[in-house]
Structure 1
Amino acid sequence: MPRLPVLLTPLLLTSALAAPAPKLQHVFVFVLENHSLSTVLGNPNLPTLNRLATTYGYAANYTGVTHPSLPNYVAMIAGDTMGTAGDDPGQRFAGDNLALQLEKAGLSWRGYMQGLPTTASTADYAGAYGKKHNPFMLSSDIVNSPQRVQNVVPYEQFGADLSSGSVPNFAFLVPDVCHDMHGALNCLGRAALDRAGDTFIGTWTQKIMASPIWKSGAAIVITFDEGGGGDKVGGGGRVATIVLTPDGPRGKVSRVPYNHSSLLRTIQEGFGLPLLRGAKTATAMNDLFWK
Protein backbone atom coordinates (compact mmCIF):
# COMPACT_ATOMS: atom_id res chain seq x y z
CA MET A 1 0.00 0.00 0.00
CA PRO A 2 1.48 3.41 -0.91
CA ARG A 3 2.45 5.71 1.92
CA LEU A 4 -0.11 8.45 2.39
CA PRO A 5 0.90 12.13 2.71
CA VAL A 6 0.04 13.75 6.02
CA LEU A 7 0.39 17.46 5.30
CA LEU A 8 -2.47 19.60 6.60
CA THR A 9 -3.91 22.35 4.45
CA PRO A 10 -6.41 25.08 5.41
CA LEU A 11 -8.94 23.43 3.09
CA LEU A 12 -8.65 20.10 4.91
CA LEU A 13 -9.03 21.73 8.32
CA THR A 14 -12.02 23.76 7.12
CA SER A 15 -13.62 20.58 5.80
CA ALA A 16 -13.16 18.78 9.11
CA LEU A 17 -14.55 21.67 11.12
CA ALA A 18 -17.49 22.12 8.76
CA ALA A 19 -18.65 18.52 8.97
CA PRO A 20 -21.67 18.12 11.26
CA ALA A 21 -21.36 16.26 14.55
CA PRO A 22 -22.70 12.73 14.15
CA LYS A 23 -25.69 11.75 16.25
CA LEU A 24 -24.55 8.57 17.91
CA GLN A 25 -26.50 5.71 19.41
CA HIS A 26 -23.82 3.04 19.78
CA VAL A 27 -20.04 3.41 19.67
CA PHE A 28 -17.58 0.50 19.83
CA VAL A 29 -13.95 1.47 20.48
CA PHE A 30 -11.29 -1.22 20.01
CA VAL A 31 -7.82 -0.40 21.36
CA LEU A 32 -4.76 -2.24 20.09
CA GLU A 33 -1.19 -1.75 21.26
CA ASN A 34 2.14 -0.17 20.42
CA HIS A 35 2.19 -0.07 16.63
CA SER A 36 3.23 3.00 14.71
CA LEU A 37 1.36 3.82 11.53
CA SER A 38 4.23 2.63 9.36
CA THR A 39 4.07 -0.87 10.85
CA VAL A 40 0.36 -1.25 10.11
CA LEU A 41 -0.21 0.08 6.61
CA GLY A 42 1.05 -2.39 4.05
CA ASN A 43 1.80 -5.04 6.68
CA PRO A 44 0.95 -8.40 5.02
CA ASN A 45 0.10 -9.87 8.41
CA LEU A 46 -2.69 -7.32 8.87
CA PRO A 47 -5.01 -7.85 5.89
CA THR A 48 -8.17 -6.98 7.82
CA LEU A 49 -6.90 -3.68 9.19
CA ASN A 50 -5.58 -2.67 5.78
CA ARG A 51 -8.84 -3.59 4.07
CA LEU A 52 -10.90 -1.64 6.60
CA ALA A 53 -8.57 1.37 6.30
CA THR A 54 -9.08 1.57 2.54
CA THR A 55 -12.79 0.73 2.62
CA TYR A 56 -14.05 3.03 5.38
CA GLY A 57 -12.63 6.13 7.09
CA TYR A 58 -8.96 6.37 7.94
CA ALA A 59 -7.16 9.03 10.01
CA ALA A 60 -3.68 9.48 8.52
CA ASN A 61 -2.54 12.00 11.16
CA TYR A 62 -3.80 10.49 14.43
CA THR A 63 -1.40 10.26 17.37
CA GLY A 64 -1.24 9.00 20.91
CA VAL A 65 -0.72 11.69 23.52
CA THR A 66 2.28 10.30 25.43
CA HIS A 67 4.26 7.17 26.29
CA PRO A 68 3.83 4.53 27.70
CA SER A 69 0.43 2.79 27.55
CA LEU A 70 -1.47 3.61 30.74
CA PRO A 71 -1.78 7.41 30.41
CA ASN A 72 -3.08 7.03 26.86
CA TYR A 73 -5.95 4.85 28.04
CA VAL A 74 -6.78 7.41 30.71
CA ALA A 75 -6.74 10.21 28.13
CA MET A 76 -9.22 8.31 25.96
CA ILE A 77 -11.94 8.68 28.57
CA ALA A 78 -10.80 11.78 30.48
CA GLY A 79 -9.33 14.10 27.84
CA ASP A 80 -6.10 14.28 29.82
CA THR A 81 -3.56 11.93 31.37
CA MET A 82 -4.81 13.17 34.77
CA GLY A 83 -1.36 13.12 36.30
CA THR A 84 -0.72 9.47 35.48
CA ALA A 85 2.70 8.49 34.17
CA GLY A 86 4.29 5.15 33.52
CA ASP A 87 2.49 1.81 33.60
CA ASP A 88 2.08 1.29 37.35
CA PRO A 89 -1.46 -0.16 37.70
CA GLY A 90 -1.62 1.12 41.28
CA GLN A 91 -2.21 4.65 40.02
CA ARG A 92 -5.60 6.32 40.41
CA PHE A 93 -7.18 9.45 39.03
CA ALA A 94 -10.22 11.35 40.23
CA GLY A 95 -12.62 13.54 38.33
CA ASP A 96 -15.21 13.49 35.59
CA ASN A 97 -14.76 11.13 32.67
CA LEU A 98 -16.77 9.74 29.78
CA ALA A 99 -18.27 6.87 31.78
CA LEU A 100 -19.58 9.23 34.48
CA GLN A 101 -20.90 11.62 31.84
CA LEU A 102 -22.81 8.85 30.08
CA GLU A 103 -24.28 7.73 33.39
CA LYS A 104 -25.46 11.27 34.20
CA ALA A 105 -27.08 11.53 30.78
CA GLY A 106 -28.99 8.29 31.27
CA LEU A 107 -26.82 6.45 28.73
CA SER A 108 -25.06 3.13 29.23
CA TRP A 109 -21.40 2.16 29.08
CA ARG A 110 -19.36 -0.97 29.59
CA GLY A 111 -15.69 -1.90 29.48
CA TYR A 112 -15.09 -5.35 27.97
CA MET A 113 -11.64 -6.58 29.03
CA GLN A 114 -10.26 -9.80 27.62
CA GLY A 115 -8.70 -11.88 30.38
CA LEU A 116 -10.35 -9.98 33.24
CA PRO A 117 -10.81 -12.70 35.89
CA THR A 118 -14.30 -11.62 36.97
CA THR A 119 -16.64 -8.67 36.68
CA ALA A 120 -15.29 -5.71 38.69
CA SER A 121 -11.97 -7.46 39.33
CA THR A 122 -9.33 -5.18 40.85
CA ALA A 123 -6.45 -7.47 39.83
CA ASP A 124 -3.38 -5.65 38.54
CA TYR A 125 -2.45 -8.60 36.33
CA ALA A 126 -4.06 -11.95 35.57
CA GLY A 127 -2.59 -14.15 32.87
CA ALA A 128 -2.63 -12.03 29.70
CA TYR A 129 -4.74 -9.25 31.28
CA GLY A 130 -3.24 -6.05 32.62
CA LYS A 131 -5.07 -3.28 34.50
CA LYS A 132 -2.80 -0.71 32.87
CA HIS A 133 -5.05 -1.14 29.79
CA ASN A 134 -8.26 -0.71 31.79
CA PRO A 135 -8.88 3.01 32.45
CA PHE A 136 -12.16 2.41 34.27
CA MET A 137 -10.43 0.52 37.09
CA LEU A 138 -7.95 3.38 37.38
CA SER A 139 -10.75 5.88 38.07
CA SER A 140 -11.35 6.25 41.80
CA ASP A 141 -14.90 7.44 41.06
CA ILE A 142 -15.63 4.12 39.39
CA VAL A 143 -13.56 1.79 41.60
CA ASN A 144 -15.19 3.18 44.75
CA SER A 145 -18.72 2.64 43.44
CA PRO A 146 -20.14 -0.91 43.79
CA GLN A 147 -22.65 -0.12 41.05
CA ARG A 148 -20.26 1.36 38.50
CA VAL A 149 -17.68 -1.41 38.70
CA GLN A 150 -20.35 -3.84 37.51
CA ASN A 151 -19.88 -2.27 34.09
CA VAL A 152 -16.29 -3.55 33.86
CA VAL A 153 -16.66 -7.12 32.62
CA PRO A 154 -14.73 -9.98 31.01
CA TYR A 155 -14.67 -9.76 27.22
CA GLU A 156 -16.77 -12.91 26.88
CA GLN A 157 -19.75 -10.85 28.02
CA PHE A 158 -19.59 -8.83 24.81
CA GLY A 159 -20.65 -11.77 22.65
CA ALA A 160 -23.61 -12.45 24.93
CA ASP A 161 -24.63 -8.79 24.99
CA LEU A 162 -24.36 -8.52 21.22
CA SER A 163 -26.47 -11.64 20.70
CA SER A 164 -29.15 -10.44 23.10
CA GLY A 165 -29.23 -6.89 21.73
CA SER A 166 -28.25 -5.47 25.12
CA VAL A 167 -25.00 -3.75 24.16
CA PRO A 168 -24.45 -0.36 25.84
CA ASN A 169 -24.35 3.00 24.12
CA PHE A 170 -20.58 3.06 24.59
CA ALA A 171 -18.48 -0.11 24.50
CA PHE A 172 -14.74 0.01 25.19
CA LEU A 173 -13.18 -3.22 23.93
CA VAL A 174 -9.67 -4.20 24.98
CA PRO A 175 -8.04 -7.47 23.89
CA ASP A 176 -5.44 -9.15 26.09
CA VAL A 177 -1.71 -8.99 25.38
CA CYS A 178 -1.90 -12.06 23.16
CA HIS A 179 -4.41 -10.34 20.87
CA ASP A 180 -3.57 -6.61 21.10
CA MET A 181 -0.48 -6.94 18.84
CA HIS A 182 1.92 -5.64 21.48
CA GLY A 183 3.41 -8.94 22.47
CA ALA A 184 4.12 -10.05 26.00
CA LEU A 185 4.36 -13.24 28.04
CA ASN A 186 5.95 -14.84 24.96
CA CYS A 187 2.46 -15.56 23.63
CA LEU A 188 3.51 -15.75 19.98
CA GLY A 189 6.16 -14.55 17.57
CA ARG A 190 5.95 -11.06 16.07
CA ALA A 191 4.16 -12.02 12.85
CA ALA A 192 1.81 -14.40 14.66
CA LEU A 193 0.93 -11.68 17.19
CA ASP A 194 0.00 -9.33 14.39
CA ARG A 195 -2.13 -12.00 12.73
CA ALA A 196 -3.85 -12.80 16.03
CA GLY A 197 -4.76 -9.15 16.55
CA ASP A 198 -5.92 -8.78 12.96
CA THR A 199 -8.11 -11.88 13.26
CA PHE A 200 -9.54 -10.62 16.56
CA ILE A 201 -10.58 -7.35 14.90
CA GLY A 202 -11.95 -9.14 11.85
CA THR A 203 -14.06 -11.51 13.93
CA TRP A 204 -15.62 -8.89 16.15
CA THR A 205 -16.20 -6.14 13.58
CA GLN A 206 -18.01 -8.71 11.45
CA LYS A 207 -20.17 -9.74 14.39
CA ILE A 208 -21.08 -6.14 15.16
CA MET A 209 -21.90 -5.30 11.55
CA ALA A 210 -24.02 -8.47 11.22
CA SER A 211 -26.10 -7.56 14.27
CA PRO A 212 -29.33 -5.53 14.33
CA ILE A 213 -27.46 -2.83 16.25
CA TRP A 214 -25.53 -1.92 13.09
CA LYS A 215 -27.68 0.86 11.73
CA SER A 216 -27.68 4.64 11.55
CA GLY A 217 -26.05 6.09 14.66
CA ALA A 218 -23.59 3.23 15.17
CA ALA A 219 -19.82 3.45 14.77
CA ILE A 220 -16.77 1.26 15.26
CA VAL A 221 -13.40 2.87 15.99
CA ILE A 222 -10.18 0.88 15.84
CA THR A 223 -7.14 2.63 17.25
CA PHE A 224 -3.86 2.04 19.08
CA ASP A 225 -2.79 3.42 22.44
CA GLU A 226 0.60 4.68 21.20
CA GLY A 227 3.21 4.27 18.51
CA GLY A 228 6.05 1.83 18.93
CA GLY A 229 9.76 2.32 19.34
CA GLY A 230 10.96 5.90 19.45
CA ASP A 231 7.94 7.39 17.67
CA LYS A 232 7.05 10.54 19.63
CA VAL A 233 5.07 12.48 17.03
CA GLY A 234 2.23 14.26 18.84
CA GLY A 235 3.57 12.99 22.15
CA GLY A 236 2.65 9.35 21.66
CA GLY A 237 3.52 8.57 18.06
CA ARG A 238 1.45 8.35 14.90
CA VAL A 239 -0.97 5.40 14.95
CA ALA A 240 -3.47 3.87 12.58
CA THR A 241 -7.05 4.82 13.45
CA ILE A 242 -10.01 3.55 11.43
CA VAL A 243 -13.67 4.55 11.66
CA LEU A 244 -16.47 2.29 10.39
CA THR A 245 -20.06 3.50 10.13
CA PRO A 246 -23.06 2.02 8.30
CA ASP A 247 -23.85 5.23 6.43
CA GLY A 248 -20.67 7.32 6.68
CA PRO A 249 -17.85 7.92 4.20
CA ARG A 250 -16.20 5.18 2.16
CA GLY A 251 -12.58 5.25 1.13
CA LYS A 252 -12.07 8.45 3.11
CA VAL A 253 -8.58 9.54 4.18
CA SER A 254 -8.47 12.42 6.64
CA ARG A 255 -5.12 14.18 7.02
CA VAL A 256 -6.31 16.47 9.81
CA PRO A 257 -4.25 16.09 13.01
CA TYR A 258 -6.23 14.06 15.54
CA ASN A 259 -5.43 12.38 18.85
CA HIS A 260 -7.23 10.62 21.70
CA SER A 261 -8.85 13.90 22.78
CA SER A 262 -10.24 14.29 19.26
CA LEU A 263 -11.90 10.90 19.52
CA LEU A 264 -13.28 11.76 22.95
CA ARG A 265 -14.68 15.04 21.63
CA THR A 266 -16.36 13.27 18.72
CA ILE A 267 -18.01 10.78 21.06
CA GLN A 268 -19.07 13.46 23.54
CA GLU A 269 -20.61 15.65 20.84
CA GLY A 270 -22.27 12.63 19.26
CA PHE A 271 -23.98 11.80 22.56
CA GLY A 272 -24.67 15.44 23.42
CA LEU A 273 -22.26 15.51 26.38
CA PRO A 274 -20.13 18.39 27.70
CA LEU A 275 -16.51 18.49 26.57
CA LEU A 276 -13.82 17.53 29.06
CA ARG A 277 -10.32 19.02 29.32
CA GLY A 278 -8.32 18.41 26.13
CA ALA A 279 -11.47 17.61 24.18
CA LYS A 280 -12.41 21.29 24.41
CA THR A 281 -9.54 22.32 22.14
CA ALA A 282 -9.22 19.15 20.03
CA THR A 283 -10.70 18.90 16.53
CA ALA A 284 -13.63 16.49 16.29
CA MET A 285 -13.28 13.65 13.80
CA ASN A 286 -16.60 14.33 12.13
CA ASP A 287 -15.26 13.99 8.59
CA LEU A 288 -14.67 10.28 9.29
CA PHE A 289 -18.05 9.63 10.90
CA TRP A 290 -20.33 11.67 8.66
CA LYS A 291 -20.72 12.15 4.91
Structure 2
Amino acid sequence: MSTLLPLLGLLSLGLLSAAQAAPMSAQPAPHIFVLILENHSYDQVIGNPSLPTFNALVKRGALARQYTGVTHPSLPNYVALIAGSTMKLEGDNPAQSFTGNTLVTQLSAKNLTWKGYMQGLPQAGSTVYFSGLYGKKHNPLLLSSDIASDPQQAAKVVPFEQLAADLDAGRVPNFSLLVPDLCHDLHGDLRCLGRAKVERLGDAFLKTWATKIMTSAIWKPGAALIITFDEGEDEQGGGGRVPTLILTPDGPAGVVIRIPINSLSLATSGSLSTP
Protein backbone atom coordinates (compact mmCIF):
# COMPACT_ATOMS: atom_id res chain seq x y z
CA MET A 1 0.00 0.00 0.00
CA SER A 2 1.28 3.51 -0.75
CA THR A 3 0.33 6.86 0.72
CA LEU A 4 -1.94 8.79 -1.64
CA LEU A 5 -2.71 12.24 -0.36
CA PRO A 6 -2.92 13.94 3.05
CA LEU A 7 -6.19 15.56 1.95
CA LEU A 8 -7.84 12.20 1.88
CA GLY A 9 -6.99 11.58 5.51
CA LEU A 10 -9.89 13.87 6.36
CA LEU A 11 -12.21 11.27 4.91
CA SER A 12 -11.06 8.42 7.13
CA LEU A 13 -10.37 10.73 10.10
CA GLY A 14 -13.87 12.17 10.07
CA LEU A 15 -15.78 8.96 9.46
CA LEU A 16 -13.77 6.92 11.93
CA SER A 17 -14.09 9.56 14.65
CA ALA A 18 -17.80 10.24 14.32
CA ALA A 19 -19.73 8.89 17.27
CA GLN A 20 -22.49 7.52 15.09
CA ALA A 21 -20.22 5.60 12.75
CA ALA A 22 -19.43 1.94 13.19
CA PRO A 23 -15.71 1.06 13.19
CA MET A 24 -14.36 0.64 9.68
CA SER A 25 -11.00 0.19 8.05
CA ALA A 26 -9.51 2.80 5.72
CA GLN A 27 -10.63 2.26 2.15
CA PRO A 28 -8.72 2.90 -1.06
CA ALA A 29 -9.85 6.11 -2.72
CA PRO A 30 -9.11 6.08 -6.41
CA HIS A 31 -11.35 9.04 -7.25
CA ILE A 32 -11.61 12.01 -4.89
CA PHE A 33 -13.54 15.13 -5.88
CA VAL A 34 -13.30 18.36 -3.87
CA LEU A 35 -15.92 20.98 -4.78
CA ILE A 36 -15.36 24.45 -3.35
CA LEU A 37 -18.27 26.85 -2.81
CA GLU A 38 -18.12 30.41 -1.51
CA ASN A 39 -18.74 32.70 1.43
CA HIS A 40 -21.55 31.04 3.35
CA SER A 41 -21.33 30.39 7.05
CA TYR A 42 -22.62 27.14 8.54
CA ASP A 43 -25.94 28.61 9.70
CA GLN A 44 -26.54 30.18 6.27
CA VAL A 45 -26.44 26.75 4.63
CA ILE A 46 -27.80 24.15 7.01
CA GLY A 47 -31.58 24.35 6.99
CA ASN A 48 -31.64 27.00 4.24
CA PRO A 49 -34.69 26.27 2.03
CA SER A 50 -32.92 27.91 -0.92
CA LEU A 51 -30.23 25.22 -0.76
CA PRO A 52 -32.27 21.99 -0.85
CA THR A 53 -29.61 19.95 -2.63
CA PHE A 54 -26.87 20.53 -0.05
CA ASN A 55 -29.28 19.81 2.79
CA ALA A 56 -30.53 16.64 1.11
CA LEU A 57 -26.96 15.44 0.61
CA VAL A 58 -26.26 15.98 4.32
CA LYS A 59 -28.53 13.02 5.03
CA ARG A 60 -26.42 10.83 2.75
CA GLY A 61 -22.96 11.56 4.10
CA ALA A 62 -20.81 12.95 6.91
CA LEU A 63 -21.16 16.60 7.90
CA ALA A 64 -18.27 18.41 9.58
CA ARG A 65 -19.84 20.83 12.06
CA GLN A 66 -16.62 22.42 13.32
CA TYR A 67 -14.87 23.14 10.02
CA THR A 68 -13.51 26.65 9.46
CA GLY A 69 -11.65 28.66 6.90
CA VAL A 70 -8.29 29.98 8.07
CA THR A 71 -8.43 33.62 7.02
CA HIS A 72 -10.23 36.22 4.87
CA PRO A 73 -10.67 36.81 1.94
CA SER A 74 -10.96 33.97 -0.57
CA LEU A 75 -7.60 33.56 -2.30
CA PRO A 76 -5.41 32.43 0.64
CA ASN A 77 -8.09 29.93 1.71
CA TYR A 78 -7.99 28.30 -1.71
CA VAL A 79 -4.21 28.14 -1.54
CA ALA A 80 -4.36 26.58 1.93
CA LEU A 81 -6.59 23.81 0.58
CA ILE A 82 -3.87 22.52 -1.75
CA ALA A 83 -0.70 23.72 0.00
CA GLY A 84 -1.45 23.22 3.70
CA SER A 85 -0.51 26.88 4.19
CA THR A 86 -1.59 30.29 2.94
CA MET A 87 1.98 30.61 1.63
CA LYS A 88 1.96 34.13 3.09
CA LEU A 89 -0.50 35.31 0.43
CA GLU A 90 -3.02 37.95 1.46
CA GLY A 91 -5.98 39.56 -0.28
CA ASP A 92 -7.58 38.56 -3.58
CA ASN A 93 -5.05 39.99 -6.05
CA PRO A 94 -4.75 37.32 -8.80
CA ALA A 95 -1.29 38.60 -9.72
CA GLN A 96 0.03 36.83 -6.62
CA SER A 97 1.71 33.45 -6.87
CA PHE A 98 3.60 31.01 -4.71
CA THR A 99 6.14 28.23 -5.00
CA GLY A 100 6.50 25.05 -2.98
CA ASN A 101 5.02 21.64 -2.43
CA THR A 102 1.31 21.05 -2.90
CA LEU A 103 -1.07 18.12 -3.17
CA VAL A 104 -0.02 17.98 -6.82
CA THR A 105 3.60 17.42 -5.79
CA GLN A 106 2.57 14.49 -3.60
CA LEU A 107 0.35 12.96 -6.24
CA SER A 108 3.00 13.24 -8.93
CA ALA A 109 5.57 11.64 -6.66
CA LYS A 110 3.33 8.58 -6.40
CA ASN A 111 2.48 8.49 -10.11
CA LEU A 112 -1.12 9.35 -9.29
CA THR A 113 -3.24 11.59 -11.45
CA TRP A 114 -4.94 14.94 -10.83
CA LYS A 115 -6.87 17.61 -12.65
CA GLY A 116 -8.46 20.96 -11.89
CA TYR A 117 -11.87 21.69 -13.43
CA MET A 118 -12.53 25.45 -13.44
CA GLN A 119 -15.85 26.81 -14.69
CA GLY A 120 -15.32 29.68 -17.13
CA LEU A 121 -11.62 29.02 -17.70
CA PRO A 122 -11.18 29.98 -21.37
CA GLN A 123 -8.79 27.12 -22.16
CA ALA A 124 -6.61 24.58 -20.42
CA GLY A 125 -3.73 26.18 -18.53
CA SER A 126 -4.89 29.75 -19.17
CA THR A 127 -3.27 32.23 -16.78
CA VAL A 128 -5.72 35.07 -17.38
CA TYR A 129 -6.81 36.88 -14.23
CA PHE A 130 -10.47 37.19 -15.27
CA SER A 131 -12.56 35.87 -18.14
CA GLY A 132 -16.32 36.34 -18.03
CA LEU A 133 -17.37 34.82 -14.71
CA TYR A 134 -14.02 33.09 -14.11
CA GLY A 135 -11.59 34.51 -11.57
CA LYS A 136 -8.02 33.24 -11.12
CA LYS A 137 -8.23 34.17 -7.43
CA HIS A 138 -10.30 30.98 -7.05
CA ASN A 139 -7.83 28.79 -8.96
CA PRO A 140 -5.07 27.79 -6.53
CA LEU A 141 -3.52 25.36 -9.00
CA LEU A 142 -2.53 28.13 -11.39
CA LEU A 143 -1.60 30.46 -8.54
CA SER A 144 1.22 27.95 -8.04
CA SER A 145 4.01 29.18 -10.28
CA ASP A 146 5.47 25.66 -10.29
CA ILE A 147 2.32 24.37 -11.98
CA ALA A 148 1.61 27.41 -14.15
CA SER A 149 5.14 27.45 -15.60
CA ASP A 150 5.12 23.75 -16.51
CA PRO A 151 3.09 23.25 -19.72
CA GLN A 152 2.41 19.59 -18.97
CA GLN A 153 1.05 20.35 -15.53
CA ALA A 154 -0.80 23.54 -16.52
CA ALA A 155 -2.62 21.55 -19.22
CA LYS A 156 -4.27 19.54 -16.43
CA VAL A 157 -6.18 22.64 -15.30
CA VAL A 158 -9.13 22.61 -17.68
CA PRO A 159 -12.55 24.19 -18.30
CA PHE A 160 -15.19 22.69 -16.02
CA GLU A 161 -17.26 21.33 -18.88
CA GLN A 162 -14.61 18.69 -19.57
CA LEU A 163 -15.68 16.92 -16.39
CA ALA A 164 -18.81 15.58 -18.10
CA ALA A 165 -16.81 14.00 -20.90
CA ASP A 166 -14.24 12.60 -18.47
CA LEU A 167 -16.96 11.05 -16.31
CA ASP A 168 -18.69 9.54 -19.33
CA ALA A 169 -15.39 8.08 -20.54
CA GLY A 170 -14.41 6.83 -17.08
CA ARG A 171 -11.11 8.72 -17.23
CA VAL A 172 -11.34 11.05 -14.26
CA PRO A 173 -8.09 11.33 -12.28
CA ASN A 174 -7.36 10.22 -8.73
CA PHE A 175 -7.90 13.77 -7.48
CA SER A 176 -10.18 16.41 -8.99
CA LEU A 177 -10.52 20.00 -7.77
CA LEU A 178 -13.87 21.46 -8.84
CA VAL A 179 -14.43 25.23 -8.81
CA PRO A 180 -17.64 26.89 -10.07
CA ASP A 181 -17.71 30.37 -11.61
CA LEU A 182 -18.78 33.56 -9.85
CA CYS A 183 -22.51 33.00 -10.44
CA HIS A 184 -22.56 29.33 -9.38
CA ASP A 185 -20.28 29.34 -6.33
CA LEU A 186 -22.98 30.86 -4.03
CA HIS A 187 -21.07 34.15 -3.72
CA GLY A 188 -22.11 35.92 -6.91
CA ASP A 189 -21.07 39.18 -8.55
CA LEU A 190 -22.76 42.15 -10.22
CA ARG A 191 -23.99 39.99 -13.12
CA CYS A 192 -25.98 37.71 -10.83
CA LEU A 193 -27.44 40.08 -8.28
CA GLY A 194 -29.30 38.97 -5.19
CA ARG A 195 -28.53 36.21 -2.70
CA ALA A 196 -31.75 34.32 -3.50
CA LYS A 197 -30.87 34.13 -7.21
CA VAL A 198 -27.27 33.17 -6.49
CA GLU A 199 -28.37 30.44 -4.09
CA ARG A 200 -30.79 29.02 -6.66
CA LEU A 201 -28.06 29.00 -9.31
CA GLY A 202 -25.52 27.45 -6.95
CA ASP A 203 -27.92 24.80 -5.71
CA ALA A 204 -28.87 23.82 -9.26
CA PHE A 205 -25.17 23.60 -10.16
CA LEU A 206 -24.51 21.39 -7.15
CA LYS A 207 -27.46 19.15 -7.99
CA THR A 208 -26.32 18.72 -11.60
CA TRP A 209 -22.73 17.84 -10.85
CA ALA A 210 -23.20 15.85 -7.66
CA THR A 211 -25.71 13.75 -9.58
CA LYS A 212 -23.33 13.27 -12.52
CA ILE A 213 -20.52 12.19 -10.22
CA MET A 214 -22.62 9.97 -7.98
CA THR A 215 -24.35 8.17 -10.88
CA SER A 216 -21.18 7.67 -12.94
CA ALA A 217 -19.33 4.40 -13.34
CA ILE A 218 -16.50 5.56 -11.07
CA TRP A 219 -18.83 6.04 -8.07
CA LYS A 220 -17.99 2.83 -6.28
CA PRO A 221 -16.36 1.94 -2.94
CA GLY A 222 -13.32 4.11 -2.39
CA ALA A 223 -14.59 7.18 -4.26
CA ALA A 224 -15.54 10.36 -2.40
CA LEU A 225 -17.04 13.77 -3.01
CA ILE A 226 -16.08 16.49 -0.53
CA ILE A 227 -18.13 19.71 -0.68
CA THR A 228 -16.71 22.63 1.26
CA PHE A 229 -16.56 26.44 1.35
CA ASP A 230 -13.59 28.78 1.16
CA GLU A 231 -14.72 30.96 4.07
CA GLY A 232 -17.73 32.03 6.08
CA GLU A 233 -18.97 35.46 7.06
CA ASP A 234 -17.80 35.30 10.67
CA GLU A 235 -14.36 35.14 12.26
CA GLN A 236 -14.40 31.69 13.88
CA GLY A 237 -11.14 29.89 13.23
CA GLY A 238 -9.84 32.93 11.36
CA GLY A 239 -11.95 32.36 8.25
CA GLY A 240 -15.41 31.58 9.56
CA ARG A 241 -17.27 28.37 10.34
CA VAL A 242 -18.58 26.66 7.22
CA PRO A 243 -20.25 23.32 6.49
CA THR A 244 -18.13 20.62 4.90
CA LEU A 245 -19.74 17.45 3.62
CA ILE A 246 -18.10 14.12 2.79
CA LEU A 247 -20.01 11.70 0.56
CA THR A 248 -18.98 8.17 -0.31
CA PRO A 249 -20.88 5.34 -1.99
CA ASP A 250 -20.26 3.01 0.94
CA GLY A 251 -19.86 5.25 3.99
CA PRO A 252 -22.37 5.77 6.83
CA ALA A 253 -25.18 8.26 6.19
CA GLY A 254 -26.27 11.10 8.43
CA VAL A 255 -22.96 11.22 10.34
CA VAL A 256 -21.91 14.38 12.20
CA ILE A 257 -18.18 15.06 12.60
CA ARG A 258 -17.51 17.18 15.69
CA ILE A 259 -13.71 17.36 15.48
CA PRO A 260 -12.38 20.92 14.90
CA ILE A 261 -10.80 20.96 11.43
CA ASN A 262 -10.03 23.65 8.85
CA SER A 263 -8.65 24.34 5.39
CA LEU A 264 -5.18 23.33 6.56
CA SER A 265 -6.53 20.05 7.95
CA LEU A 266 -8.05 19.27 4.58
CA ALA A 267 -4.58 19.42 3.06
CA THR A 268 -2.54 17.90 5.88
CA SER A 269 -4.56 15.54 8.11
CA GLY A 270 -3.44 11.94 7.88
CA SER A 271 -3.10 9.91 4.70
CA LEU A 272 -5.02 7.56 2.50
CA SER A 273 -3.75 4.57 0.59
CA THR A 274 -4.20 2.92 -2.76
CA PRO A 275 -3.01 -0.52 -3.84
TM-score calculated relative to the size of structure 1: 0.85
Q: Secondary structure in 1 aligned to 2:59?
A: helix
Change (3 A) 1:235 1:163: same
Look up the match of 1:255: 258
State whether residues 15 and 255 of structure 2, in contact with CA within 8 Å, keep that contact through their aligned partners in structure 1.
no
- Matched residue, 2:204: 199
The one-letter code matched in structure 2 to 1:126 is S
Contact 2:219–2:249 (CA under 8 A) maintained in structure 1: yes
Residue identity opposite 1:135 in structure 2:
P
Assess if the C-alpha contact under 8 Å between 1:13 and 1:256 holds in 2: no
Q: Is the 8 A contact 1:37 1:227 kept in 2?
A: yes
Q: Deviations over 1:8-56 (max 9, x none)?
A: xxxx999369875442111001000000001001111000101111331
Q: What is aligned with 1:246?
A: 249
Partner residue in 2 for 1:5:
none
Question: Which structure 2 residue ranges, 5 or more long, are not aligned?
Answer: 1-13
Q: Which residue number in structure 1 is paired with residue 55 of structure 2?
A: 50
- Contact 2:18–2:256 (Cα < 8 Å) also in 1: no
Aligned residue among 270, 284, 290 for 2:272: 270
- SS at 1:194's partner residue? helix
Which of 1 and 2 has higher RCO (CA within 8 Å, sep 6+)? 2
SS in 1 for 2:32: strand
Name the structure 2 match of 1:114: 119
Asked if the contact 1:112/1:174 (under 8 Å) is kept, the reply is yes
Alignment partner, residue 158 of structure 2 = 153
Note closer, same or farther for the CA distance 1:257–1:211 as it changes in structure 2 (3 Å cut): same
* 1:255-281 CA distance string (max 9 Å, x none): 111111222235x61247xxxxxxxxx
Deviation at 1:189, TM superposition (A): 2.0
The number of residues matched between the two structures is: 258
> 2:142 matched to 1:132?
no
Deviates more, 1:129-138 or 1:12-21: 12-21
Q: How do residues 53-132 of structure 1 correspond to structure 2 at under 5 angstroms?
A: 53-132=58-137
Contact 2:69 2:231 in 1 (8 A): yes
Residue matched to 2:9? none
In the other structure, the counterpart of 2:238 is: 235
Shift of 1:187: 1.4
d(CA) in 2 for partners of 1:200, 1:129: 15
The structure-2 alpha-carbon separation of the partners of 1:224 and 1:157, relative to structure 1 and needing over 3 Å to count, comes to same
Partner of 1:142: 147
> What SS class does the counterpart of residue 185 from structure 2 fall into?
coil
Identity of aligned residues (%): 57
Corresponding position: 1:40 with 2:45: yes
Matched, 1:190 2:220: no
Task: Assess if the C-alpha contact under 8 Å between 2:18 and 2:258 holds in 1.
Answer: no
Shift of the alpha carbon at 1:152? Answer: 0.5
Per-residue CA distance 1:117-174 (angstroms, 9 max, x = gap):
1111010001100000000111011011111000000001111111111101000000
CA distance in 2, matches of 1:156, 1:27: 18
Q: Deviations over 1:62-97 (max 9, x none)?
A: 001111000000000000000111001011111110
Deviation at 1:254, TM superposition (A): 1.0
Question: Which residue identity is paired with 1:169?
Answer: N
CA contact (8 A) 1:66 1:235 kept: yes
Question: What is the root-mean-square deviation in Å for CA atoms of aligned residues?
Answer: 1.9
CA distance in 1, matches of 2:190, 2:152: 33
Q: Distance in 2 between matches of 1:172 and 1:271?
A: 19
CA contact (8 A) 2:15 2:62 kept: no
Please give the secondary structure, in 2, of the residue aligned with 1:39: helix
Assess if the C-alpha contact under 8 Å between 1:29 and 1:220 holds in 2.
Answer: yes
Q: SS of the residue aligned with 1:141?
A: helix
